[in-house]
Structure 1
């Protein structure tokens, strides 16, 4: 396969592995055209799946939010370890639609420190004969390495995921990793299950802190290896700023933040609202959210552990807790229908929907549209340059508002 006549929008990809890796599907496309592609993707899904008219969607559309520098933006990466055909230990990313590792320690989307961390671990494994995990047989020790960086703080985290309870010479490894500028947290995560899930539940600190800090806007967050935290901090600030603008808070509103994670959007909203309630199914994330609220002196945010589709009906029907504004930021599968039903019964003036999948977004907006809500504005935010993924923020309000 070869290019006979290149498109005028084709560019030379900086990463030599982008075709095999499959992570950066759009790397050969100019960034301006990537943004156009993503805006069209959202628009087409809203029309085709959501059933909205092209005229209405175009009238509500605001320009997509791009990046000035669309490289080295990821503050988190998870690298699998394995063997090449010659039996050498390698790390990198899985090739598209497979679990074959493309050996590469210098990803164009990740932070520059990733390369140093990975090569330090590879050298340690070679020196002490430490095995990589083989998922076919469930044998071997090192499965993955999770690396995080606080862009504002400069703090680094390295968490080695192991198929066992202990690493040989683990203090030596910790000391070597500690030499990397910014290293704040070195830990191991135990995962002995035969599963594709990367992280287990048990984390043991080898050196430093369990968590690192980062700042979005003027809110400081403490992040553990298990925390969900947006991977592009530069765009996250813009994304949350857009959600806050759409929420239209004047200081007297009660706001629900569903699928709140470690409270990232909740704490942004709390600065402008009377009261914010956050709901998240992961107990560790809610513990982080409470800690983050305390860390920032925010006293008007309250957090609940549980499924949004269970907590929301309970609080509304049994305790009479209402909402002026509801913000949802669900996983890729979108909102549960019971959750959507309760949102409609609570009759908030505005719903702000933040989505990482415009197809499930369109499906949910169709339901809300049939239940008396109307799309007023929508905007794409490019959190993942070089890939086909895109975030969307939508403002809906009651038709009778």
Structure 2
């Protein structure tokens, strides 16, 4: 271990032995645990410490001494700066290995789950262009390379792309993104070029001024396309100018929408959506069901793998046709409507009222008459009166946000004593915490991870719990 002139700690020949949950490589030097971005198990690296605590530190790779057998060349020109796809430098087989391992570690260590019930992870058939929704940010503060910074010249500073990690005000201009299929890249690049050419101002994330703020592109497996332009402070002529250009350039768009958002945050859930052309929605299809997706609708971002996730959820539930099912955190009712034909009745609960409205529309759209949906805070809605009115569930499906279930909800599930609980989670650590509490009355019978997000450290996991005798 040595220090340079600026007192930055440098450590040579660090062997990377594991991967942390946030996707960073893990090494060790002189009893100091190191978290190292862009390093993978099997690498031997020289590093420079960027932040140090008592027992751990964060460090950046300064030299790659020897490469892991799992290391591959990243396929994206933006890898390393862009905040997405952090595992492109790792083979897909290794990605699956370490995702499975992270789930196993969390469930066994925190949830005390027997590893014997944990099944192999389900790989994604698509490892590129798998997302059906992307959101880009306009900014007048483009991220500059070191070479650009050194140049003594005026540079184009407008950018349409993704946030650089830990720099909320800096946007990386994206040339080609491998997350969403064509015409996504053409749409983004064409809109950016047109706005620059016509002097339509890009948003200033610090001063909160400028015309263009965000761009959202949604597509479906049925080939439908939605484009949403989020403006901040445009002239009326600028809105017409840009929207007419988009329609002329991409006449295949089914839903061309815009929003005027002058709040300090980017969310559009509380904003009015204006239709410029076509419908206010697009349609997705899954297993013979049709789902209506609006600008504010929630839908799993990997359509093909979502079908596999829901099939596993249904399989774990083991429905015979006569069960009362509660679908907690139902979102737009996708799981509820997906399993409805195999249950007597499905009751869905969700915090977001617009999502519940979508769930009801989707049930009606598919002629499903045995689902009911309710909006409200889960810990408040799921009470004794609600259960007495609708009936005790035989099966509970729960798919909470990353934070997991509120302790009061877990307590209520223990009181209800449904025969089965199927727990779907995008965060194995919080899932394991909840499983530990549910272990008072339930046994974990099966657990299966599903890779919904290739090239990233994120993974979904489905667990089946059965009531103890």
Aligned to 1:50: 111
Per-residue deviation, 1:168: 2.9
Query: 1:317 and 1:289, CA in 2 relative to 1: closer, same or farther beyond 3 A?
Result: closer
Aligned to 1:338: 408
Write out aligned runs for 1:1-400 (5 A): 1-52=62-113, 56=114, 58-83=115-140, 84=142, 86-99=155-168, 100-151=170-221, 153-164=222-233, 167-178=236-247, 179-180=249-250, 182-195=252-265, 197=267, 200-316=270-386, 319=389, 321-370=391-440, 372-400=441-469
d(CA) in 2 for partners of 1:243 and 1:302? 19
Per-residue deviation, 1:399: 1.1
d(CA) in 1 for partners of 2:69 and 2:297? 42
Would you say the 8 A contact 1:316–1:322 is kept in 2?
no
Per-residue deviation, 1:221: 0.5
Cα distance per residue 1:315-353 (max 9 Å; x no partner): 445526210000001111111111112122111110000
Would you say the 8 A contact 2:209–2:233 is kept in 1?
no
Per-residue deviation, 1:68: 2.7
d(CA) in 2 for partners of 1:391 and 1:360? 12
Query: 1:150 and 1:278, CA in 2 relative to 1: closer, same or farther beyond 3 A?
Result: same
Q: Give ranges in structure 1 of 5+ residues lacking alignment.
A: none
The number of aligned residues is 394
Higher strand share: 2
d(CA) in 2 for partners of 1:111 and 1:243? 27
d(CA) in 2 for partners of 1:137 and 1:127? 23
Which structure has more relative contact order (CA 8 Å, sep 6+)? It is 1
Query: 1:223 and 1:361, CA in 2 relative to 1: closer, same or farther beyond 3 A?
Result: same
Higher helix share: 1
Would you say the 8 A contact 2:200–2:238 is kept in 1?
no
TM-score by length of 1: 0.94
TM-score by length of 2: 0.81
Q: Which moved more, 1:61-70 or 1:378-387?
A: 61-70
Q: Which moved more, 1:84-93 or 1:288-297?
A: 84-93
Per-residue deviation, 1:225: 1.2
Would you say the 8 A contact 1:373–1:399 is kept in 2?
yes
Per-residue deviation, 1:175: 3.3
Per-residue deviation, 1:96: 1.9
Would you say the 8 A contact 2:195–2:242 is kept in 1?
no
Q: Compute the RMSD of aligned alpha carbons.
A: 1.7
State the secondary structure of the residue aligned to 2:136: strand
Cα distance per residue 1:351-399 (max 9 Å; x no partner): 00000011110001111012x1010000000000000100000000101
Cα distance per residue 1:131-174 (max 9 Å; x no partner): 111121111121111110011x2011111112147653433433
Q: Give ranges in structure 2 of 5+ residues lacking alignment.
A: 1-61, 145-154
Q: Which moved more, 1:281-290 or 1:87-96?
A: 87-96
d(CA) in 2 for partners of 1:87 and 1:299? 56
